[in-house]
Amino acid sequence: MPDITAVTHAQNIRYDRKAEALYIIDQTLLPGEEKEIRLQTIDEMVEAIRALRVRGAPAIGICAAYCMYVLAKSIRTEDRPTFLKRLSDYGQQLDAARPTAVNLGWAIREMMRTALEHVHDTRGQMLDALYERAVVIHEDDIAKCRAISEYGLSLLKEGDGVLTHCNAGPLATSRYGTAQGPFLLAAERGMHIRVFADETRPLLQGARLTSYELQRAGVDVTLICDNMASIVMKNGWVQACFVGCDRVAANGDTANKIGTSGVAILAKHYGIPVYVLGPTSTIDMACPDGDHIPIEERDGEEIKTMWYEKPMALPEVKCYNPAFDVTDHELIAGIVTEKGICRPPYTKSLKALFDDKK
């Protein structure tokens, strides 16, 4: 029996205030095992982000915010300059774990700003402020994902087919998700949307996570290999593509999981609109275009051996394993944020989002 709420409200990141402990669901074990692990030390936190035990731009930011609180509590000094230096050093180690998702650095800077704002308070008052900021970052994302899901669903009608790439559901965010949020909202409302989920080589976020989330929520999901995207589009089964984002540049160029730009190029060929869905915290107005987005490169073993009983290539074979690529803004029909759907020209429509903040 589908349990939509169990999916939409899955606690991928949980801070236990009584136990004073930070827990995450280890996403590297899904879908076979749903296991919480505790993050206590900087090394455990960096490893968890680097190994994608916690992953997805918003989720990484939320986790980093709680990590900064946990680390602040571990700094035993009453000398405030020393405290701030040590917390800043921890923040730099966390930020270096993965370079592409802008939410990570954004959350760390937000926590450092909070520490500075309370530098003349007592230690207890500062720690309370840091905890409260982490909770606000977490709860804001819940509200943002809900709004993004509503705007995203407004683009679809009963019976539509949608192709998605990688995972941008509750596991990658807080609740509902971004690119997958509209599908869960549709399921809640009894609306039939057919989702084609790319497996998303090499780490299989689509196979392991998206199909796991959508199947359990009772969404009509079909898992395909990445090289099948063209045929499902050609068959007329796809009316739109919904993808997440890790960093959106000021001109609308968007970094997302490797393979996204290929999906967008295919979609343009078949006349299918591509929508990027993500919170404004993923938009980097200081980044002029996609050429300025740092692209994380990962270990080639993720390609050659990670999922196979026997290696699929000779050990000496070179690999190229970028974790993301950049989709040109001209291939994007709209960028769906919690503030609404931005349409081209993005240099204007994205800027307007932040002008609203004033």
Ligand X SMILES: CSC[C@H]1O[C@H](OP(=O)(O)O)[C@H](O)[C@@H]1O
Distance CA 206, CA 217 (A): 15
Rule CB under 6 A: say whether 247 interacts with ligand X.
no
Rule CB under 6 A: say whether 175 interacts with ligand X.
no
**Tokens 């040590």 belong to residue:** 86
Amino acid at 336: V
Rounded to an integer, what is the distance from CA 194 to the centroid of its chain?
22
Q: Binding segment for ligand X among 48-56, 224-232, 309-317, 332-340 (CB under 6 A)?
A: 48-56
In a 3-state reduction of DSSP, which class is residue 28?
Answer: helix
The reply to whether 10 sits in an annotated binding site is no
Among 8, 210, 256, 281, binds ligand X (CB under 6 A): 256
Q: Binding segment for ligand X among 53-61, 310-318, 328-336, 350-358 (CB under 6 A)?
A: 53-61
Rule CB under 6 A: say whether 221 interacts with ligand X.
no
Rule CB under 6 A: say whether 12 interacts with ligand X.
no
How open is the CA angle 148-151-157, to the nearest 5 degrees? 130
Q: Binding segment for ligand X among 16-24, 155-163, 167-175, 306-314 (CB under 6 A)?
A: 167-175
Nearest by Cα to 56 from 173, 199, 174: 173
Of the candidates 95, 198, 246, 284, the residue annotated as catalytic is 246
- Let me know if 246 is a catalytic residue: yes
The answer to whether the Cα torsion of 50, 56, 58, 59 is positive or negative is negative
**Tokens 């996403």 belong to residue:** 27
Among 49, 57, 148, 283, binds ligand X (CB under 6 A): 57
Among 102, 108, 166, 187, binds ligand X (CB under 6 A): 166
Rule CB under 6 A: say whether 290 interacts with ligand X.
no
Contacts of 216 (CB under 8 A, 6+ apart): 2, 3, 6, 7
Cis previous bond, 315, omega within 30: no
Binding residue positions for substrate:
55-57, 98, 205, 256-257
State the catalytic residues.
246
Binding residues (CB under 6 A) for ligand X: these are: 52, 55-58, 166, 168, 172-173, 178, 205, 244, 246, 256-257, 323
